[in-house]
Amino acid sequence: MFKGSIVAIVTPFHNGKDGKVDEKKLRELIDFQIKNGTSGIVPCGTTGESATLTFDEHEKVIEVTIDQVNKRVPVIAGTGSNSTEEAIMLTKQAASAGADASLQVSPYYNRPTQAGLYRHFKAIAGSVKIPIILYNIAGRTGVNIEPETIAGLAKDCKNIVAVKEASGSLDQMSRVKALCPPNFQLISGDDSLTLPVLSIGGIGIISVVANIVPRDVADLVSAFEKGNIKKAQSLHYKLLPLIKACFLETNPIPIKTAMGLLGMCEPELRLPMCSMSPVNLDKLKKALKDYGL
C-alpha cells in the first residue's frame, strides 16, 4: 500500500496579516504531485507546519487533501501529538474523513520512556482501524523509538504497519528490519538517505524535496525497484546538493522559501518559523539554479 515517493506536503498560507490556509493552492500542489509520479500524500506533517495549525485547520487540511486526491494515491494524515488523548482525537477525525493511514510522530517535549511510547502508540492504534505509520525523529522530539519498541508494537498491534525512520542511523534501521515481521515496512525519513534505505529493504521515502522535484524523487525509487542501480545512483547524486540546500535551516523554512522563489506558492511561514538569513538564501538560490530550476 505504501511505497515510492510520498511527499510530506507543505501547507500553503495566504500572504498577509490573516495568513490563513490557502485551500485552492493546496489543491493545485496535490495535483502537481500526483501528475509527477508521487505515490502518496502526507498532509499535516512536520513540513506541513502541523505544530502551528489550529485543530480546525488541521482537520480542514486533511479533509481538503482527501477530497482533492480522490483516492488516486494514499493519503497518510499526520495526526500525532505529545498528548495521547489529542493524538487519538486527531486520528479518529482523519479516519472518519477517509484518510488511508495515520502518521504518528513520537511524543515531543515530555520525553516518555520506552514503556510510555509503547503504551502511547498502542492506545492510538487501538482507537482506529486504519494503518498506523510510526514517525521516529529524535532530533525534533527528544526521544528515540528503540527498534525493540517498534518490534513490540509491530507484533502486538496489527494496524501498526510501518515506520518513517528519520534517526539518520542505518544501523538502527537495519535492526528494525531484523527485529520486525517481514511485512513491516521501513520508510526513509531523510531525503539524503533514500537510496541507502532502499538498499537495506526500505520501500520508499516520505520526502521534503519532492515538494519541488517530485519526478526525480519518484524516478529514483522506481529505478531502484526495477534494478537500474546506476540510474538510481545518478539521481541520488544529482539530488544531494539540492537536498542539502533544503535543510540549511529548520524544515520547512528552506523548502517553502524555494517554492516561493519558483512561484509554486507563497513562502509564508508561521512564527516561530521565519524567513531565511540572507547568506543561506543566497546558497538556496544557487542550488536551485545549479539544479536547473
Average pLDDT over the chain, rounded to an integer: 97
| 203-238 pLDDT per residue, tens | 999 999 999 999 999 999 999 999 999 999 999 999
pLDDT at 164 over 70: yes
Q: Report residue 169 as a C-alpha cell.
A: 542511523
pTM (two decimals): 0.96
The pLDDT of residue 15: 85
Residue 18: predicted pLDDT: 77
Q: What percent of the chain has pLDDT over 70?
A: 100
Q: Where are the alpha helices (DSSP H) in 98-133?
A: 114-127
Q: Which of 11, 33, 29, 8 is nearest to 21 (CA)?
A: 11
**Is 164 considered catalytic here?**
yes
Lowest-pLDDT range, 6-20, 93-107, 144-158, 216-230? 6-20
Residue 1 predicted with pLDDT over 80:
no
C-alpha cell at 141: 522530539
- Angle, helices 55-69 vs 23-35, to 10°: value is 40
- pLDDT of 181 reads 96
Q: How confident is the model at residue 76 (pLDDT cuts 50, 70, 90)?
A: very high
Distance CA 55, CA 93 (A): 10
pLDDT at position 19 is 86
Question: Rounded to an integer, what distance in angstroms lies between the CA atom of residue 214 and that of residue 34?
Answer: 9
Q: Which of the following is catalytic: 118, 135, 177, 256?
A: 135
**How long a stretch of residues is the chain?**
293
Give the model's pLDDT for residue 17.
Answer: 61
Cell of 276: 531565511
- Range with the lowest mean pLDDT among 17-31, 79-93, 181-195? 17-31
- CA–CA dist 136, 292 (Å, integer): 33
* Residue 152 reports pLDDT greater than 70: yes
Give the cell for residue 214.
517530485
Structural domains of the chain, ranges and CATH numbers in brackets: 4-226 (3.20.20.70)
* Annotated catalytic residue, options 25, 60, 164, 256: 164
Could you tell me if 250 and 271 are in contact, meaning their C-beta atoms sit under 8 angstroms apart? no
Partners of 207 in the β-ladder: 7
106 contact partners, CB below 8 Å, separation of at least 6: 80, 117, 134, 135, 136, 137, 138, 141, 143, 144, 145
CA separation for the pair 116, 147 (Å, rounded): 15
Report the DSSP beta bridge partners of residue 160. 132
